[in-house]
Amino acid sequence: MPRTGMAPTSRVPSPTTLSPEPPSRIQRLRPTWARFPAAPRAPRPTARPIVPGSRHDRPATGVDPMMKRPRAPWLGFTLVEVLVAVTILSLALLAFLSAIVASGRSAAKGDYYILAARAAGDRLAAVRAGGYAALSDGATEYTVSGLPGGRMRVTVGPLDGSAAYTDIRQVDVRVTWDSPTPGEPALAGEVRASTLAARPR
70-114 tens-digit pLDDT:
555 556 778 899 999 999 999 999 999 999 988 888 888 899 999
Phi–psi pair at 80, nearest 5 degrees: -65, -40
Mean pLDDT rounded to a whole number for the chain: 77
Three-class DSSP category at 168: strand
Which residue, among 131, 135, 184, 183, has the nearest Cα to 156 in the 3D structure? 135
Which residue, among 153, 148, 152, has the nearest Cα to 108 in the 3D structure? 148
Which residue, among 199, 200, 191, 48, has the nearest Cα to 111 in the 3D structure? 191
User: What is the per-residue pLDDT for 88?
Assistant: 96
- Whole-model pTM: value is 0.51
Domain ranges for the chain, please list them: 79-198
For the chain, the distance separating the N- and C-terminal CA atoms, rounded to the nearest angstrom, is 162
pLDDT in tens, 28-74: 665 555 555 566 676 666 666 666 666 655 555 554 455 555 555 55
Which residue, among 167, 89, 98, has the nearest Cα to 133 in the 3D structure? 167
